[in-house]
Amino acid sequence: MPKPLIGITLGRKFKDGEGLFAISETYIAAVERAGGIAVLLPALRDDEAVRLVRQRLDGLLLTGGADVDPALYGGQSHPSVYGVDACRDTTEMALVRMAVESGWPFLGICRGIQVINVALGGTLYADLPEQLGTQVAHRSEEEGHPVQIDPTSRLAGLVNATEIQVNSYHHQGIERLAPGLKAVGWAPDGLIEAVEVPGHTFGLGVQWHPERRLDAPQHFVLFKALVQAAQGGYTG
């Protein structure tokens, strides 16, 4: 069976007026180690390009990065909001909607879970410390925190547990869950940390960064499941 092609979304930064696309190579390593072929996806500028990506790739990985534009979910801006890229937002949200409608396997990480939620009609906390409090240090990657997992969820089956320890580096998160999504993981302060699309081939979003913990089976398994789903072999 040929290795599936997994599209990995890219972030964009500007230097001297020039846009530079980049991504941490840990995402590429995760897909390759899981048995897939990484295909890097910059922001796309027309609907036809999005449709062609859907036709030619077998799965989608939505990566972390800068913040989603608060205007897209009716939110207020905040001084901590950074790196808003309208073209990236538009591209990724179109890909998410297409994936949900067509059964295209996808995994969202950090910003990725936020994009999934906004694309499907949910909202975000623009700044967690100010709007949710500081019970959990969501921007302390070294310390991390536990996540409680719905025992009936696909995620629980994948990690074979109802609680796992995760890293944490984000200042935004899901506020109102989008229609059509199911919350399946929560931080100790109640923040939604994992979502699934019920009945979907493989539609999963997590707030943490499993690509930074590939040596831990409970994190690497998420990439294995994405690749298996892209090959048509996922049965979870």
**Active site members:** 110, 209, 211
Which residue reads 């969202």 in tokens? 108
The sign one gets for the Cα dihedral 30, 32, 35, 37 is: positive
Which residues pair with residue 11 across a beta bridge? 22
User: Given CA atoms 78, 63, 9, 101 in this order, what sign does their dihedral have?
Assistant: negative
Q: 1: which residues sit within 8 A by CB, 6+ positions away?
A: 231
Q: Within 10 Å of residue 51's Cβ, how many Cβ atoms? A: 13
Name the residue with tokens 């996922």.
234
Contact 5, 58 (CB under 8 A): yes
- Give me the helix-helix angle, 25-33 and 217-230, nearest 10°: 70
